[in-house]
Structure 1
Amino acid sequence: MHSPTTLRIDGRAIVENTRRIAASTRAEVMAVVKADGFGHGRAALLALEAGATRLGVTSIEEALPLRWAGVEAPILSWLNPVDADIVSALRHRIELAAPSLAHLARIASEARRLGARASVHLHLDTGMSRDGAPASDWRTMCALAREYEREGTVRVVGIMSHLARADEPGHPLTVRQRLLTDAAARTARSRGLTPRFVHLAATAATLTDPSTHFDLVRVGAGLYGIDPSRTTTLRGAMTLTTHVTTVREVRAGTPVGYGAGYLTREATRLALVPLGYADGIPRALSPDARVLVRGRRVPIAGAVSMDQLVLDVGGMPVQAGEEVTVFGPGDAGEPTLAEWAGWAGTIEHELVTRVGPRVHVEAAA
């Protein structure tokens, strides 16, 4: 199906970002490719070619297609309900996080039933009150894991946690969480466990705080050019373009869009493009939001509709069929994801994962 809107994925940018990050740490790099590689598709293979040694996803359902595609690298899945499809994970050599005693017991039970041995990362909550076992259960979890190791149903390969404020370099909570993670690893070893990996840092901490790196860093956003800490210039891997559908000339004071909240200040030309919130464009945007047409940034006129935007192109002789760049790496003066995130009052991660299925995707090696 032909679509006037295209999302271009620059594989070279993913490779470049991965290499840069891998060169900045002594730890191994886990490429986090959840949510279809943050909307970037075949990022897993590119990241592995560029220096990542392992992959991370949320669910078992995200991990299985990677195995079916022939990926042999270790894959960790860390967000599953207790009744998840553990059998498929074991059969496809998918490592599993255990964020509770119940999860750990279920994993061991399924491994026992299959005559298998599960590779497990014990997950501790050190300050997010989100996923991960509470500190009060940690000693019991380590002791139980050691019993499962003795019976041959579990092998603890990792200890993991997640930082809450790593995008604010030097924040005291990050220091506290690092110390708690280190203490948790020492507790695990004192119980006879020998995890190969202790891991805490995601992209922001990987770029700003080597003390959090331990043995492994989990890098997702950074692979795709997003730095939550705003301290490093990475290359954006995603460019969103569309084409003008129609153009009309209007007088000063012409209302545009739902609610008629936008009035043209002078006689101008309005260009319609077939892109809206169903395609991933945030409906709530500041008046500063812009796109690139003919090398110039032009404002969005009026509210974002489900399927369309109106652009105020002024006196430019824009014609139907001309290309409009919504965002990209900024090489040609187009708005970047960081700018769009600011206009939408959100984060870049949300924008790259919300692009709708009507948008045609092109991947460049």
Structure 2
Amino acid sequence: MSRFPARAVVDLGAVRANARTLGDLAPTAQLMAVVKADAYGHGLLPVARAAVEGGATWLGVAQVSEALALRAGGVTARVLTWLYAPGAPLAEAVAADVDLSVAAPWALREVADAARAAGHAARIHVKVDTGLGRNGLTPDDLPAVVDEALRLEAQGVVRLVGIWSHLAFADEPGHPSLHAQGDLLRAAAADAEARGARFEVRHIAASASTLTDPELHLDLVRPGIALYGLTPVPQLGGPERFGLVPAMTVEAELANVKRLPAGHGVSYGHHYVTPRDTVLGVVPLGYADGVPRHASGQDGAPGAPLGVGGRRLAIAGRVCMDQVMVDLGPGATERAGDRVVLFGTGADGGPTAQGWADAAGTISYEIVTRLGARVPRVYVDGGREVPASGAERVAEGVA
């Protein structure tokens, strides 16, 4: 593979430690590590293994293909997948012992057909729309689906494992809808149990409620962004407020360094003009690599932060497809090949994913998950680099 002048360094030790911290914050609940979207851009299999080593007994993914990739990679922990359309390879998922969410009447029919094709019962979690207005069964559809699921369970076609939901205002701790949705899920579970259902887990808490609201932990919590050491509630404090450590550092090598006179335009549209004679650096990452164009520095405002030589600088001018520029200052001594940090742990005062989110008007989730595929992921554990495959250590899962 040809050498790429940037990389994302993922600390598996941080993932493992974050999983332990989250488990400690919800001691009465099981822990599902959400590793959808290639583990929020961090790498599906290495992160899944580290999360299981850190105490996660479940893994959560959105797409069936992600669940099957976990199984193909030798991960044996319980896996729940929840987003699919008609015609999805559900029989493969059932055969691979993947739990399936049922969010619509048609989905239960397809899961039942998949279980018959696979030759054994499908484990299902009934998804209830308690107010988010997204995926899930409406209160009107729920009783009939539960009754049909119980009929199929009696035939050995499915097994009712869980009932669950998503919160609409999870990132606003104290919002009155949070406990209202929790009460609706509890009521739905109680009604289903009165009809004969016996659930192993009820779950509604993702990262924010795992960190801030023990009353919503129920039987299982599903942290996602917190597993990666980022906070879903930055208004309450950074990751350190919750004992979390950011797992990803994105860094690049300066591709060019040159002197420019005062008054020189920088990047498309010249939205940044050098205010004095200075040194310009070219960083070889752009929006094709996931750098938000909204992170540009323009109209007199600095762009997203960059760490160079222990200094905290910012993107100068518009983000391009493959590169961004940084004004290194008139006394800069950097040379081509020197390291630039886009974001990392912030422990040394350097830039963070949250700082990038603030600069781009978005959330830290988007900053890490949009990182492009051509940026290599490099894995470290205990300060040393480890193979991405994790072949030297396959974590024991939960059957």
Is the TM value for this pair above 0.5? yes
Identify which of 174, 181, 185 aligns with 1:170.
174
The reply to whether residue 7 of structure 1 matches residue 3 of structure 2 is no
Question: Which stretches in structure 2 are left out of the alignment for 5+ residues?
Answer: 382-399
Provide the residue aligned with 1:330 in structure 2: 346
Q: Deviations over 1:26-63 (max 9, x none)?
A: 10000111111111111111111111101111111101
In the other structure, the counterpart of 2:323 is 308
Q: Is 2:40 the partner of 1:38?
A: yes
Equivalent in the alignment of 2:149: 145
Query: What per-residue deviation string (whole Å, max 9, x for no partner) do you get for residues 172-216 of structure 1?
Result: 111110010000100110110001000000000110111111100
Cα distance in 1 between the residues matched to 2:32 and 2:21:
14
Q: What is the RMSD computed on CA atoms of the aligned residues?
A: 1.1
- The residue aligned with 1:259 is 269
Residue pair 2:91, 2:117 contacting (<8 A) in 1 also: no
3-state SS, counterpart of residue 147 of structure 1: helix
Deviation at 1:220, TM superposition (A): 1.0
- Give yes or no for contact 1:299–1:313 (8 Å, CA) kept in 2: no
- Runs (4+) of structure 1 exceeding 4 A deviation are none
Q: How far off is 1:334 after superposition?
A: 1.4
**CA shift at 1:295, angstroms?**
0.4
Aligned residues: 365
Give the structure 2 partner of residue 207 of structure 1: 211
* In structure 2, distance between residues paired with 1:262 and 1:133: 51
Name the structure 2 match of 1:360: 376
8 Å CA contact 2:92–2:118 kept in 1: the answer is no
2:307 corresponds in structure 1 to: 292
Q: Could you list the per-position Cα deviations for residues 308-331 of structure 1 after superposition, in whole angstroms to 9, with x for gaps in the alignment? A: 111100021111111111110012
- Structure-1-length-normalised TM-score: 0.98
- Separation (CA, whole Å) in 2 of partners of 1:118 and 1:124: 19
Structure 2 residue 337 is the aligned partner of structure 1 residue 321 = yes
Please tell me whether the aligned partners of residues 42 and 377 of structure 2 are also in contact (alpha carbons under 8 angstroms). Answer: no
Find the aligned partners of 1:358 and 1:82 in 2 and give their Cα distance: 32
1:28 is matched with which residue: 12, 30, 38?
Answer: 30
Q: CA deviation at 1:253?
A: 1.0
Alignment of 1:1-365 (within 5 A): 1-25=2-26, 26-41=28-43, 42-230=46-234, 231=236, 232-233=241-242, 234-285=244-295, 287-288=301-302, 289-314=304-329, 315-365=331-381
3-state SS of 1:111 partner: helix
Instruction: Tell me the distance in 2 between the aligned counterparts of 1:113 and 1:236.
Output: 43
* TM-score calculated relative to the size of structure 2: 0.90
8 Å contact 2:305–2:355 — kept in the other structure? no
In structure 2, what is the Cα distance between the partners aligned to 1:30 and 1:58? 13
Identity %: 44
Instruction: Pick which of 261-270 and 109-118 moved more.
Output: 109-118
The letter for the 1-side match of 2:155 is E
CA offsets per residue over residues 64-86 of structure 1, 9 Å max, x none? 11111111111111111132111
